[in-house]
Chain A
Amino acid sequence: MIDEIAARFPYWATAVLLVVGLYGMMGKRSLVKQVIGLSIFQSAIILFFISGSLLEGATIPILYSVHGEGHANPDDFVNPLPHVLMLTAIVVGVAITGVALSFLVSIYREFGTLDERELLDEVRG
């Protein structure tokens, strides 16, 4: 069991973070905590991509002079593409968090609370 988890540690870590994030979004009454849950959820996916790009014993993918030295061996380098993708995903995540937080500011100004149950009572009341 322990070996199994250790062998696939990134997957387990991702799964745990995803569940923590989902719990934050679904189980918490405070809208702020829901946004935090969303952030954790997105971070889990970013970490998943990064962990997938790693190679044992590989280094950063910068090609030094290769004049006349033939092709560089791809096994020597970490895959750079997931990192680039995750830069974009981080930007998307920041945009979502930003919009969510600005929603929270408006909701707080309108209702004076960020507790989901109170807000629902207020709206249905």
Chain B
Amino acid sequence: MDPQPQLPVFIVGAPLLFAVVVPVLGRVWRHSAFLIALATVAVAAVASALSLELVLRQGAFSYYLGGWAPPVGIEYVIDEVSALVSLVITSVSFLVLISTRRWAEREAGDRPGIFYGLVLLLLAGLTGIVVTGGLFNLFVFLEIASLAAYALVFIGGRKAMLAGFRYLIIGSIGGAFYLLGVGFVYFATGTLNMIEARELLEVTENARAAQVGAVFIFAGLGLKMALVPMHLWLPDAYEHAPSSVNSLIAPVMTKVAAYAMLRMFLSVFPAGFLSGSVPVADALLILGLIGIVFGSIAAAGQTDIRRMLAYSSISQLAFIAVGIGLGTPLALAAALLHIVNHAAMKATLFLAASSIRLRVGLQRTHNLTGLGPRMPLTMGAFAIGSVAMVGIPPTAGFFSKWYMVQAGLDEGQWIVVAVVLLSSLLTAVYLFKVLEQAYLRPAKPEPSAHHDAEQGGSADAAARPSEQAMRPVVERAREAPFDVWLPLVLLAAATVGLGIANVVIMEHVLLPGVS
């Protein structure tokens, strides 16, 4: 048999298998855990890259798990979109894993095997969501990924415990809603295969039940992707999660939920289903527009870098929701491009934040004065990430916004154009605030008094004195170690590279994928 069609099983199978192997081997030889996990992610990334190459050469293909053809068996569908997204997830995770190894050593304590096992389980779930062609199969992968994420958030200490539990409750409600929606679709059509479901939905007499199902599915996935007003779990989870975890889940986790939402539009529900009497698409559009503005404004009010980035994630995910809500091929492609771009940008920003925390132990934005010249590579990467988030060409963020504005103009949705442009300004407000502190202000020898009177917001009083005491460390700060900054610089370069390559990605991968 031709070996190539077997590729998809490696994308999901390798992380799933080694998620079990790593904890066992990690007990025997501690250092093996990191190495095996890294090698596994590399295998998944290479399999994704080869799949993408194959798709571009021959068109989309399917893998039948266990040789059972759909609709009886489970089908993995590799098309342009799923191959690209799984490549992005696995390669971003690969870089993040290298860069956060030092944090993982501290935070995973004496059980690195279990930590990396959970990381692999998370990746197996995420890649599974991306490649699967089955509605119920997607639910299972969604819960696998979520369970691993709950546990990873939970290990971050006292505050993370509560945030992790809250995340578990809300995430499980999301998963359950999704399952309920799948139930309605199944009873309306009698199939769980996405492509077959679409064919049957176009001719079904039972459209009412399927529409109810669509509402539940979008509510469930909306919870998972932290669409406003279902975002309440996210800031706490991202702020308190261990540094080795938040730079991993922030770029990929909610993005994959957004991808699943998009997949529902692309592959499951025919266009007429989501407008009219049950206006799911319009609801997504409106919630997305609100979310863009709300997330940016909330981010501007934060003093903790990670919490600020978390609110910024809410805003960026809302941007993706706007693209899905518009629903034209160009808007969907722009949303997908933004999923890819945002994974790279957010990984850059979160990694830079954890690199800063590694070297100087600081995470309040106003304490970073004068850090720019002392950690040039880390802050440089942060600056590139910020510029990309704001959307200044030639970085990646500009182009997804550009295509989205075009899609909005095509549809005559002026409000989309206005909000997207406004969001760029608001993003500039909160990210350039950090850059100003790092580059333009001279380092202060001692923390000045007004820092103590800082408006609290989410700030915890207990942590502040210790951070103040650590303030002079900025003067002694050195660049992060090689293995921390190299992946960071690569990711920053990727945000520029993705921007330059955007025409290629759009024309050869995304636009064929959505049409």
Q: Which residue numbers of A lie inside 8 Å of B, CB to CB?
A: 18, 22, 25, 31, 34-35, 38, 41-42, 45, 48-49, 52, 82, 85, 88-89, 92, 95-96, 99-100, 103-104, 106-107, 110-111, 119-120, 123-125
Q: Mark B133-149, 1 if CB is under 8 A from A, else 0.
A: 00010011001000100
**Chain B residues, CB < 8 A from A119:** 162
User: CA A92 – CA B143 in complex, angstroms?
Assistant: 7
**Chain B residues, CB < 8 A from A110:** 158, 161
CB interface residues, B 140-167, toward A, < 8 Å:
140, 143, 147, 150-151, 154, 158-159, 161-162, 164-165
- Is B168's CB under 8 angstroms from A96's CB? yes
- Is A31's CB under 8 angstroms from B165's CB? yes
Closest CB in chain A relative to B155 CB, distance in Å: 9
The chain B residue with its CB closest to the CB of A37 is: B169
User: CA A10 – CA B150 in complex, angstroms?
Assistant: 32
Q: Mark B181-195, 1 if CB is under 8 A from A, else 0.
A: 001001100001000
| Stretch in contact with the other chain, from B4-12, B172-180, B350-358, B379-387 | B172-180
User: CA A85 – CA B180 in complex, angstroms?
Assistant: 12
With A38-B172, A52-B183, A82-B186 as contacts: A96 and B162 at CB distance below 8 Å: no
Q: Which listed residue (B172, B175, B183) contacts A48, Cβ 8 A? A: B183
- Give 20 new A-B contacts, CB below 8 A, not counting A45-B180, A99-B151: A41-B173, A41-B176, A49-B183, A52-B187, A82-B186, A85-B136, A85-B192, A88-B136, A92-B139, A92-B140, A92-B175, A95-B147, A96-B172, A99-B168, A100-B169, A103-B150, A103-B164, A103-B165, A103-B168, A107-B162
User: CA A40 – CA B161 in complex, angstroms?
Assistant: 23
30 sampled A-B residue pairs with Cβ under 8 A? A18-B180, A25-B173, A38-B172, A41-B172, A41-B173, A42-B176, A49-B183, A52-B186, A82-B183, A82-B186, A85-B136, A88-B140, A92-B140, A92-B143, A96-B147, A96-B175, A99-B147, A99-B150, A99-B151, A99-B168, A100-B168, A103-B161, A104-B165, A106-B154, A107-B161, A111-B158, A120-B162, A123-B162, A124-B460, A125-B462
User: CA A87 – CA B150 in complex, angstroms?
Assistant: 23
User: CA A25 – CA B315 in complex, angstroms?
Assistant: 27
In terms of DSSP, what is the predominant structure of the interface of chain A? helix
**Chain A residues, CB < 8 A from B187:** 52
**Chain A residues, CB < 8 A from B175:** 92, 96
User: CA A25 – CA B223 in complex, angstroms?
Assistant: 15
- Is B150's CB under 8 angstroms from A34's CB? no
With A82-B186, A123-B162 as contacts: A38 and B143 at CB distance below 8 Å: no
Closest CB in chain A relative to B221 CB, distance in Å: 16
The chain B residue with its CB closest to the CB of A109 is: B161
**Chain A residues, CB < 8 A from B147:** 95-96, 99
CB interface residues, B 465-491, toward A, < 8 Å:
none
7 closest residue pairs by CB, A with B: A92-B143, A52-B187, A103-B165, A45-B180, A107-B161, A96-B172, A49-B183
User: CA A110 – CA B155 in complex, angstroms?
Assistant: 12
Closest CB in chain B relative to A28 CB, distance in Å: 11
**Chain B residues, CB < 8 A from A89:** 139, 179
User: CA A104 – CA B136 in complex, angstroms?
Assistant: 29
**Chain B residues, CB < 8 A from A106:** 154, 161
User: CA A99 – CA B168 in complex, angstroms?
Assistant: 9
**Chain A residues, CB < 8 A from B169:** 25, 34-35, 38, 100
The chain B residue with its CB closest to the CB of A122 is: B158
Closest CB in chain A relative to B430 CB, distance in Å: 24
**Chain B residues, CB < 8 A from A100:** 165, 168-169, 172
- Is B154's CB under 8 angstroms from A123's CB? no
Q: Which listed residue (A22, A48, A99, A125) contacts B180, Cβ 8 A? A: A48
- Is B173's CB under 8 angstroms from A22's CB? yes
**Chain A residues, CB < 8 A from B186:** 52, 82
With A96-B172, A107-B165 as contacts: A123 and B159 at CB distance below 8 Å: yes
**Chain A residues, CB < 8 A from B161:** 103, 106-107, 110
**Chain A residues, CB < 8 A from B173:** 22, 25, 38, 41
User: CA A22 – CA B180 in complex, angstroms?
Assistant: 14
- Is B154's CB under 8 angstroms from A103's CB? yes
User: CA A42 – CA B169 in complex, angstroms?
Assistant: 12
**Chain B residues, CB < 8 A from A45:** 176, 179-180, 183
The chain B residue with its CB closest to the CB of A89 is: B179
Closest CB in chain B relative to A17 CB, distance in Å: 11
